[in-house]
Amino acid sequence: NKSDVTTVLNHVQATYAKPNPAYFGKAKGMNVIYIHLESFQNFLINYKLNGQEVTPFLNSLTREKNTMYFDNFFHQTGQGKTSDAEFMLENSLFGLPQGSVFTTKAQNTYQAAPAILGQLGYTSAVFHGNYKTFWNRNEIYKSFGFDHFFDASYYDMNDQDVLNYGLKDKPFFRESIPLLQTLKEPFYVKFITLSNHFPYLINEEEATIPPATTGDGSVDRYFQTARYLDEAVKEFFDYLKQSGLYDRSIIVLYGDHYGISDNHNEAMSQIIGKEITPFEHAQLQRVPLFIRVPGVKGGIMHQYGGEIDVLPTVLHLLGIDTKNYIQFGTDLLSPQHQQIVPFRNGDFVTPTVTAINGKYYDTQTGEPIEKNDDIKRAEQIVRTKLSMSDKVVYEDLLRFYTPKGFKPVDRSKYDYNHRQ
């Protein structure tokens, strides 16, 4: 009820990290372009398979002058996988401990990025080469306030171009360009890729590197589909550069969740050259995060963070303060950013400790450590954050609270029916 909102508000206000003046508003008024890198784990970045880079384009972004690359950034998804990642990035709320919030809580009140930005004159859209009902996107996107949802029905889904979950990434980006061109700037857009998805299928003639040779087919092909994704993203960047959008857009790329599950530990240990202990497994939950802001100095950023932290970071770059919003992440670029990364199951990682199932390890060395007061404190913070976020979602608490200056979303105004 209403008084629960007050408790939550007090919590988020106490943990609020105020914007860093060196970054606040540096992307004001710019377009926002998200690229969702399906199943992309951070170990791929700068990894060499048989002496060859797997993802040369994404690797080049780690050295690009206006791109910040976060190398201690983790996914925090649960059973909702892609949908959990999207949910965290749009709302800075956690996905649920069971199931997918997209499918179970689509009718809730949200104060999501497309709505916040929509009220400031942004046009918002999602581009995805699968059909709109997958993960119940066509319902929850209304609650987020997305103006447009370009799903598979907008694309040429011919047999040649479709594989696994939908349209292959290269035709996907190519066919997205004319759709993107119909949008009024500034826009807030998200491109959800899907070729790099388990079981990592690829047509022989489209594979430009040989597979790995662990003998585990999906692990071996993972490198080939990641390379294909890398090439697709490069082609899209070429368009952004040539069209001029590159100079007036902030570009955010993120891996949504792991690609190689626990079931493939044996093959993965061959790939990374060490045994996949519970500690190593936790470290492997890193996914890349890149944020490119024209005019802002890039570099490799080592702060620890996760998907929950992206929204406040991006809003602050756009010059929008998040103080009045109920968000559980904190701005990665703020000196007050809290470097405790909760996983959905209550485990967590900080620069000093990795907590897994009641056991504690030194994050830097992997050595077991005893529980101490700092760990107890972090554990408490993790528990509070997850349970408060769950309360907000389960009890639809945002309907009782409207941030100053925000207009509640009217779901009935949105409709993604595409008449061809």
Angle of helix 137-144 versus helix 81-91 axis, rounded to 10: 10
Our CB check for Mn ion shows the closer of 139 and 256 to be 256
- Beta-sheet pairing, 299-301 with 67-70: parallel
Contact 231/55 with Cβ under 8 angstroms?
no
Rounded to a whole number of angstroms, the CA Rg of the chain reads: 20
Task: List, edge to edge, every strand of the sheet that includes 359-362.
Answer: 341-342, 348-349, 353-356, 359-362, 368-369
Residues 21-40: x/- map of binding to Mn ion (CB under 5 A)? Answer: -----------------x--
Under 8 Å between Cβ of 286 and 41? yes
Q: Does residue 347 interact with Mn ion by CB under 5 A?
A: no
Question: What is the end-to-end Cα distance of the chain in Å, rounded?
Answer: 44
Q: Total residues at the site for ligand GP9 (CB under 6 A)?
A: 8
Which value, to the nearest 10 degrees, does the dihedral of the CA atoms of residues 259, 263, 269, 270 take?
Answer: -90
User: Would you count residue 256 as binding Mn ion (CB under 5 A)?
Assistant: yes
Pick one of ligand GP9, Mn ion, none as the site partner of residue 194 (Cβ within 5 to 8 A by kind).
ligand GP9
What residues pair up with 187 in beta bridges, in sequence order?
123
When asked if residue 285 is in the footprint of ligand GP9 (CB under 6 A), the reply is: no
CA distance 261 to 238: 33
Q: Is 401 in the site for ligand GP9 (CB under 6 A)?
A: no
The listed partner (ligand GP9, Mn ion, none) that binds 282, CB under 5 to 8 Å by sort, is none
Q: Which is nearer to ligand GP9, 53 or 86 (CB)?
A: 86
Query: Which of Mn ion, ligand GP9, none has residue 130 at its interface (CB below 5 to 8 Å by kind)?
Result: ligand GP9
Tell me if 89 contacts ligand GP9 by CB under 6 A.
no
Q: Residue 143 binds which entry of Mn ion, ligand GP9, none, with Cβ cut-offs from 5 to 8 Å by kind?
A: none
Shortest Cβ 66–ligand GP9 spacing (Å): 29
Describe the strand order of the beta sheet including 123-128 as a list of residue ranges. Answer: 148-150, 123-128, 187-192, 31-37, 249-255, 289-292, 67-70, 299-301
Task: Say which entry of Mn ion, ligand GP9, none residue 192 contacts (CB below 5 to 8 A, set by partner kind).
Answer: ligand GP9
**Minimum CB separation from Mn ion for residue 104, in Å?**
18
What is the footprint of ligand GP9 within residues 107-136 (CB under 6 A)? 130, 134
Q: Please give the positions annotated as active site.
A: 82
Contacts to ligand GP9 by CB under 6 A: 81-82, 130, 134, 165, 192, 194, 197
